[in-house]
Amino acid sequence: MRSRFISLLCILLPLLNLFAQQTKPLTVGDTVPDLFFNNTINYPVSEIRLSSFKNKHIIIDFWATWCTSCIHHFQQLDSLQKQYPEQLQVLLVNSKNSVDSKEKITGFISNYLSNHPGFSLPAIAGDTVAKTLFPHQLLPHYVWIDQNKKVTAITGPEEITAQNIQNWLSGIPLYLYIKNDFTDTLVIPVTVKGYAEDAVSHAALQGATILLTRSHSTAISNSKGQFSIRVTEPQDTLIISYSGYLKKRILLAATLNREKEIHVSLTPETVTLDNAVVYTGYQSLPKERATGSFEKIDNRLLNNRISTDVMSKLENSSSVYFDRRNNNQALTIHGASTIYANTAPLIVIDNFPYDGDLNNINPNNIESITILKDAAAASIWGVRAGNGVIVITTKKGRYRKEPLLECTANITIGAKPDLYYAPAMSAADFIGVEKTLFDKGFYNSSISNTTNRPILSPVVELLAAKRAGTIAAVDADAQINAMTNSDVRKDFQKYLYRQSVNQQYAINYSGGSEKFNYLFSGGYDNNADNLVRNGYTRMNLRMQNGFIPFKGMEITTAFTYTQTAKTNNNPGTIIANPTGKIIYPYARLADDQGNPLATPKDYRQAYLDTAGNGKLLDWKYRPLDELNLADNRFKQTDLLFNIGAVYSCNKNLNVELRYQFEKQNGNTSNLYGAGTYLTRNLINLFTQLNGTQLKYAVPQGAIVDLSFAELLSNTARGQVNYRKTLTGKQEISVIAGAEIKQIHTASNSYRTYGYNPDILTYGNVNYSDLLPVYGNLGAAQLIPNPASFADGLLRYLSAYSNASYSYDRRYIFSLSARKDASNLFGVSSNQKGVPLWSAGLGWQLNNEKFYSFKTIPLLKLRITYGYNGNVDNTLSAFTTMRYFTGAPYTGQAYGILINPPNPELRWEKTAVLNTGIDFSTRNNRITGTIDYYLKKGTDLTGQSPVDPTTGVLNNAQNAFGFKGNVADMQGQGIDINITSNNLTGIFKWSTTLLFNYTAVKVTRYNASSALASAYLGGGRLINPVLGKPLYTIYSYKWAGLDSLTGDPRGYLNGQISKDYTSLVNVPVDQLQYHGSAIPVYYGSLRNTFSWKQFYLTVNIAYKLGYYFARNSINYASLLVQWNGHSDYAKRWQNPGDEKLTNVPSFIYPITNSNRDAFYNSSSVLVEKGDHIRLQDISFSYAFSQNQLKQHLPFKSLQLYSYINNIGILWKANKAGLDPDYYAGGFPLPLTVSFGLKATF
């Protein structure tokens, strides 16, 4: 009886299990029961359950032997399972109602295995349960089940992609179309409306193609991603596609039963070439339909680098070159386009050029940056586009979005700079020189000078006192010997520098309804500089709104308020420098107890000890007191408001009006308290002592310098946009508009003496008369009066148009024209304006029928030509003068001629030819762009000589000349941007190579100098040479040291010579030309690794093909200015040393200063600047959705860290110098950042 019961139970249990599984159909989010399958083929066992695949994601693929589309995807699915064997299991489920018998399925799988050895997917025959839980009519039908056995998605085959699978397994949210085969039909005809966006960034996708599969009707989404299309087939399907994104298929009947409007989120494929919408500031267009040279930096790449400012985020992540030589921060795109005019690229923020301080821009408000590099891309901006255009797009609210709160916080800690980097002269060597000079009487005249009391160093004072017998020799020698062990850099490091700490906080709240969107953001930065008592704070508030008052009309507004405050109390090591000199290396800023010590400033210490017999103010200079008493503040507010209205007349035509207002105010207050040296010095200097009576020409109290600067900018624009798709293959896009702009700048500064900050009183001074100075320390002087006033008004009027035509997604033609006029140029109206234009062609070669190269499925060719412009705001066609008060001898007002009349003055123009190739290999394994460009600048402004009898003086060069259109330049270059997806599994690795080649040369210049010395600025000065780069490295030819004397030698007319006067005045053609002072080749190699939620980026930067001239010892400068150099220790001292060193011998007296001048500009000091630098490393971890749901109250959470300025990996020079900091300053110190980003 018992055995019969067990047998009956064995029969009933599967039936009970089957009955239990036959529940209502499941959908996304439901938990799947532990399904049981007992007819499994191509698997070790025939009976399996879902629980057999513990901790795996499962895809159930419903199929049939007669479904060719199903079979077509088998290999793709098998490849994905093999790629993720520990995470993914695909089950091929053939339902009983497919009419396929088990025998037929078994035979089919057997044949398939013979044709595809290694095929590993299990096939299940005769299913009835899974089909009930997931009903469908169309095959293939895929059910995505996560490791927790919850349904993630139900899709068709178009969603089965490597990227979607990878994201799914990594816990990244998916935005997939839900397949539903059971829908009602539409009541037709009907107009369907919707909008398309990026599923990750939620940016609107302009130019997405909308296709109805049955009627073949098409539509294109507009700049807001919106589209509408007429449906005439009751069961039509909508396919939305956009280059670089996965296509999406929507069954209209099912969707419109649930939603009034279709919301399409397209998921980007793995980094593709044309997944970007480029924004020129006037229009948005898909990159695939652009002919110009664009470069887009998306939000993710921008966020790789942590910085207070926006521009630095482009460094080594774009083709923008940052010239950081000696703390410079100049930016160039495609090399220099001008000589003396504005060299900076035009910065555009949300449709309008930004006229304010770039430091006002909060990088956390930036969505993306587009760089416009060639004429077709940038010529729409006219004369301001000659140096390229950087278009910044800020974050905005979006319609139909739930409220989203985003918070970001980070802290950056920076090391102290390496003060021992600079090659400084040792204290022992410096003191040795002082002793030698003292013995030879060099200081005798200064010691005996009782008129202006020139300063002497402590060692010289001791030597003088020792000689005069006022101090015992043994005591003097002991004090001097103690000084040889001192190093002022220790005190600099201790008292002037600290670790920098930068804090950055940002909050962003955005969302939107059907007709209204909003964004509110706030940011706060608090930076403690690595210079003690220097700091920077910035508060930024921003509000942006969009509103649709009625159909076809959209109004947008944006309001940004920025307040910055800067304290600049510490100028660095120069705070200790005496006037006109460098602080001696053995100086001490404080005693052993930390009390500030005095150092020489303007007058001898011995004189100051007794000057005025105690009646004058303390006249000594203590650098640390000056640091602590300094009160130098700068405050700035910036108000930026813009409003725009766009009215769509129909689906093809819209009209927009935009206006922007900006007001920026800056106030500088430099309070020199009563205890500061500047105040005490001026009071004492102009004090007259009559017996016991003191007469103060400068009133006692503080001195305050105040300055104010204001910028007012108004810009208005009207624009018409027309876009139409013709016959499904042709598309026309036209914009035309006009713009008017006015910029008014005003500034003033003044000084107040005798100021009392507590009760706000001040004193009066006599600025008009020459006054005697105390003790006859100098000739009669005017009391310093730094007051100044300036006012400027710039007006621009522009008209522009841009048109593009594309045919069958194969051929693109673009044309752009613009005319700018300004109040700066031309006496006649036709000279006030300049017409600029560009034309471009694009050929999408891979869309040609004859193209069959499957290895490169994307190939596009581009060519553009056109003109950009530039403007030098310091010039005018009219005579202009600058007026001053207080002439040195008369005290009267006087004027200086700034610009002579020049009715022929013209805008600068730059012709640009650009050819480009965009490509992508199969599966986007390698994507990239290659551009080659030629530039020719004409009518560039430069210095030109004039007849001295005209009296026109060029103040910049102190010679007779003027500044006008006298120069031309040519340039060429290559930009390469290639990304390789090396690994695409759960562990991903991609590499991006940026390579830039830029060569610019001067082809015309009317003011060449005959003096060789004019071209020896170490590459830091502009003195153009025909056929050479704008910044060049020239040097005197070096012939080594004289073996008997250690004198430097050069070549004069091919012969070795020591005639230094002749050597430094050789003709230019006898100089040695080394090359460019700016890198000819530069770029970066960025490797990105990710595993699950971990993300790591390593960025290596390089600069090649350039030179720099390093500093060395200058003996005249050492004697007069105390400016030493560590090369002094390497100097020639004995015959034979010339084989070991190139540093000349030290001689005294110095009879010819040209000896130093020759050596310091000789070729022996020229080094190659080539180097490779490990620039930065960023690391982040993004919590998965499952982690957040279980443990944390966030929609998303990311933790990140960033290390910057890591160090040089290789350099060509053997001098141990960082080529970016070779002649002053210190390399940027290492910084480490930590932060988090969360959304709620």
More reliable by pLDDT, 428 or 1093: 428
Q: What is the mean pLDDT of residues 393-405?
A: 88
* Residue 1067 burial (10 A CB sphere; 0-12, 13-18, 19+): exposed
Taken in order 1002, 1005, 1011, 1016, the sign of the CA dihedral is: negative
With a cut of 70, say whether residue 254 has pLDDT above it. no
* β 894-899/833-844 pair status: unpaired
More reliable by pLDDT, 199 or 1152: 1152
Sole residue written with tokens 């009930």: 132
- Residue 720 sits at φ, ψ, to 5 deg, of -115, 130
Sole residue written with tokens 């026309």: 732
146-155, 564-573, 734-743, 826-835: least confident range: 826-835
273-282, 306-315, 705-714, 1116-1125: least confident range: 273-282
Q: What is the mean pLDDT of residues 346-363?
A: 89
> In the numeric block, which tokens belong to residue 981?
């997806």
With a cut of 80, say whether residue 224 has pLDDT above it. no
List of E strands, 418-529: 500-512, 516-528
118: left (phi over 0), alpha (psi -120 to 50) or beta: left
Q: What is the mean pLDDT of residues 759-788?
A: 91
Asked if residues 1182 and 1206 have their Cβ atoms less than 8 Å apart, the reply is no
pLDDT band at residue 329, thresholds of 50, 70 and 90?
Answer: low
At residue 963, the pLDDT reads: 79
> In the numeric block, which tokens belong to residue 318?
């774009």
Asked if residues 550 and 514 have their Cβ atoms less than 8 Å apart, the reply is no
Q: Please confirm whether the linkage preceding 945 is cis (ω < 30° from 0).
A: no
| Percent of residues, the chain, with pLDDT higher than 90 | 52
With a cut of 80, say whether residue 178 has pLDDT above it. no
pTM reported for the whole predicted model: 0.80
Asked if residues 1036 and 1064 have their Cβ atoms less than 8 Å apart, the reply is yes
More reliable by pLDDT, 1107 or 514: 1107
Q: What is the mean pLDDT of residues 1122-1142?
A: 96
The rounded distance, in Å, linking the Cα atoms of 877 and 797 is 17
The rounded distance, in Å, linking the Cα atoms of 621 and 455 is 12
8-state DSSP, 756: B
List of E strands, 1093-1138: 1094-1104, 1107-1109
Domain architecture of the chain: domains with CATH = 22-169 (3.40.30.10), 190-266 (2.60.40.1120), 427-486+572-629 (no CATH)
Q: What is the mean pLDDT of residues 445-457?
A: 93
CA proximity to 493, closest of 618, 621, 590, 392? 590
The whole-chain average pLDDT of the chain stands at 87
Q: What is the DSSP string of 160-196?
A: --HHHHHHHHTT-----PPP----PPP-SSEEEEEEE
- SS3 at position 961: strand
* Residue 999 burial (10 A CB sphere; 0-12, 13-18, 19+): middle
pLDDT band at residue 15, thresholds of 50, 70 and 90?
Answer: very low
Give the angle subtended at the CA of 1138 by the CAs of 1134 and 1140, to the nearest 5°.
100
At residue 895, the pLDDT reads: 78
> In the numeric block, which tokens belong to residue 49?
């359950």
The rounded distance, in Å, linking the Cα atoms of 1008 and 1023 is 8
Asked if residues 62 and 139 have their Cβ atoms less than 8 Å apart, the reply is yes
CA atoms within 13 A on the CB side of 693: 2
| Percent of residues, the chain, with pLDDT higher than 70 | 90
More reliable by pLDDT, 805 or 158: 805
| CA 325 to each of CA 454, 464, 1109, 1212: distance values in angstroms, whole numbers, following the listed order | 35, 43, 12, 16
At residue 6, the pLDDT reads: 44
The rounded distance, in Å, linking the Cα atoms of 1167 and 1173 is 17
Asked if residues 1197 and 1236 have their Cβ atoms less than 8 Å apart, the reply is yes
At residue 826, the pLDDT reads: 55
275-279, 752-756, 885-889: least confident range: 275-279
Structure confidence by residue, pLDDT tens digits, 869-909: 887 777 777 777 777 776 766 667 777 777 777 777 887 88
At residue 888, the pLDDT reads: 66
Asked if residues 961 and 944 have their Cβ atoms less than 8 Å apart, the reply is yes
**H-only helix segments in 89-185:** 102-115, 129-133, 162-169
CA proximity to 773, closest of 674, 872, 697? 697
At residue 13, the pLDDT reads: 41
Q: Which of 275-289, 634-648, 1178-1192 has maximum average pLDDT? A: 634-648
At residue 1099, the pLDDT reads: 96
Q: What is the mean pLDDT of residues 44-63?
A: 91
With a cut of 60, say whether residue 1140 has pLDDT above it. yes
Asked if residues 242 and 266 have their Cβ atoms less than 8 Å apart, the reply is yes
